[in-house]
Structure 1
Amino acid sequence: MSTDLKESALWLYDQGYVPTDVCDIFGISRSSLSRWQRNIGDYSTVVAPTNYLQGRPCRLDNAMTLDLLSLVEESPELFLDKIQEWLAIVHDAPISLSALHDNIRWFAAAERDDEQRAAWRAHMQANFVASQVVTVDESSKDDWTIFQRYGRSSSGHRATIDAPFVRGQQWSLVAALGVDGYIAAHAVPGSVDGGEFLDFILEEVVSLWCCNC
């Protein structure tokens, strides 16, 4: 609602109109009318000034954010739960996985350079063919991985699922894929660290690739 309509509603109220009648005329609630009255008393205007500090405070301060960015750059293979544990232990900063994911996505978006990305794509298209490209990625699973986290049910009934209560053993899989299929794959219990990932590239991907060339 515009400022002049709010002022008009308060003017009618000051002239002795019953509050319920004022609310019916302008289609507003009694709480809105009371809030505008408080704003007049506190700020001399029906509209309160913008509070730039409103909202939930950041979980991570500048020092924590810089340390987190350095950790992600040095060990990009870390899972979110491992980074979450690191923040809790090193910085005493408990944070949810969703908030941590949003922070890391913000890092990636802030550092993205569209011109460099376009130049890299042009370079790849001009100097390489599909058979020369090998993609490597990592995934993981545990006893919870295959189950959905959300579901639907009838109104008034809780959605339930028959699933293990504990995660069980976590396994990580790293694989290299070319145009003709998988070149190499490696599974390990727990997480794949940087050294193990490098060994996989050198001993299983590069060696097999060179043998087939």
Structure 2
Amino acid sequence: MPPHNVSDDLKRQAVHLFLGGLPRAEVATLMGVKIRSLFNWAKLVRDTGDVVTKATVPRGRPRVLTTAILHHLADLLKAYPTLYIDEILQWLAIYHDTPISLTQLCRNLHDANLTYKVVQRAPLERDAEDQLVWKKMIMSKYRASQL
């Protein structure tokens, strides 16, 4: 049988039939699953009380900057793209009570794609007047076939 996802209700029904005394080969044929899967689901029911595993606990170190803080920081950088890193560090310490090292901040900014290049480009792309000047300059220097 090809691998496929089996719904939780089908797993519960199969385990109910299996533990109810129906032969394992018959249950597997009726439900269209492997016999080994029946054993695994029955073991899960014995161990946890259900056929599905519980969500695992997140691994690793907890993040210093939460998603909400990163969104707030992204909004701040879009509004004020010329902020210095030390000003961002002070802002985080004062407004979010999150003292963070320079290295951690740089890593978080990079992971959130808030690099200097991206942040500096955003206000330039928003200014319609500058876009028109740039388009005129490009069109005066190049033909359409060159672009």
TM-score, normalisation: structure 1: 0.33
TM-score, normalisation: structure 2: 0.45
Higher strand share: 1
